[in-house]
């Protein structure tokens, strides 16, 4: 479902999901650049948010998870290779989950970091939402 979404056909991410952890990699292409010839912040956000979301979502089996907030810090421009964000859940309560994510470039240098807060919704996972 994630990889087949129209936005992801455009960004072409790769995803890995574990127990309370996830990683998302997105190849950097020129069409992602802003006027200064580096990736726009939206690319950083997408990688970080998706990784953090799936880390949180991996711990919730019965309801849809919603992003409540996401804080991002951009630390280095990236203009080639790929951006890889890894995330881990650092807080898991009855209703809220918090995940921290770090993004690196192809050489392993940190380019951004972020923290997301996610909420278990009242919407059960069902075939109507694309979950079997």
Say if 131 falls within a structural domain. Answer: no
Q: pLDDT tens, 8-59?
A: 999 999 999 999 999 999 999 999 999 999 999 999 999 999 999 999 999 9
As for how many domains the chain has, the answer is 1
- For residues 88 and 124, the answer to whether their CB atoms sit within 8 Å is no
pTM of the predicted model as reported, rounded to 2 decimal places? 0.92
Q: Which CATH number goes with the domain that contains 27?
A: 3.10.129.10
> How distant, in Å, are the alpha carbons of 24, 45, 60, 120 from that of 48?
8, 5, 19, 19
Helix (H) or strand (E) holding 55: helix 41-57
Which residues are CB-neighbours of 71 under 8 A, at least 6 positions away? 114, 115, 116
Domain of 28, in residue numbers: 6-126
């Amino acid at each position: 479902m994630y990889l087949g979404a129209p936005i992801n056909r455009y960004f072409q991410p790769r995803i890995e999901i574990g127990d309370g952890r996830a990683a998302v990699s997105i190849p950097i292409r020129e069409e992602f650049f802003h006027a200064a010839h580096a990736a726009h912040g939206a690319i950083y956000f997408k990688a970080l948010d998706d990784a953090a979301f799936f880390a949180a979502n991996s711990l919730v089996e019965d309801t849809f998870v919603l992003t409540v907030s996401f804080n991002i810090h951009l630390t280095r421009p990236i203009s080639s290779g790929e951006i890889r964000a890894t995330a881990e859940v650092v807080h898991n309560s009855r209703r809220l989950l918090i995940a921290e994510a770090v993004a690196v470039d192809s050489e392993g240098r940190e380019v951004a970091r972020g923290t997301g807060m996610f909420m278990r919704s009242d919407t059960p996972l069902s075939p109507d939402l694309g979950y079997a």
